[in-house]
Amino acid sequence: GDLFSGYEAFGDGNILMATPEKALFDTLYLIPAKSHFFKRLTELEIPDHFNFGYFKKWLKKVKNKGRRSIINKELIKKFNFGD
């Protein structure tokens, strides 16, 4: 499974930036990392057009069951959304 999707080109140089959905997914994906940079989401503003449905697509691509479970638990805990 390829997790390198969810990016849009911006500006003249077509710089790839994560969509809001992908940025949040990547943050939740990194929560179990040894560094503590991603342990807490302090301030978070979800745009009106935010589509939690994209998470199901990316969750299916996470091969590690433990990591997939952590991401899903965080979605439920923080946003009341998950499998």
Confidence of residue 83 (pLDDT cuts 50, 70, 90): low
CA 30 → CA 12, 43, 59, 80, distances in Å? 30, 17, 13, 19
Average of per-residue pLDDT values in the chain: 84
Using alpha carbons, select from 57, 58, 50 the residue that is nearest to residue 79: 50
Q: Hey, how many other C-beta atoms are within 10 angstroms of the C-beta on 32?
A: 15
Answer yes or no: is pLDDT of 39 > 60: yes
Note the pLDDT tens digit of each residue in 40-69. Answer: 766 778 888 889 888 788 989 999 999 999
Q: What share of the chain is helix, strand, coil (3-state, %, to 5)?
A: 40, 10, 50
Answer yes or no: is pLDDT of 1 > 60: no
The pTM assigned to this predicted structure is 0.79
Q: Does the CA dihedral 72-73-76-79 come out positive or negative?
A: negative
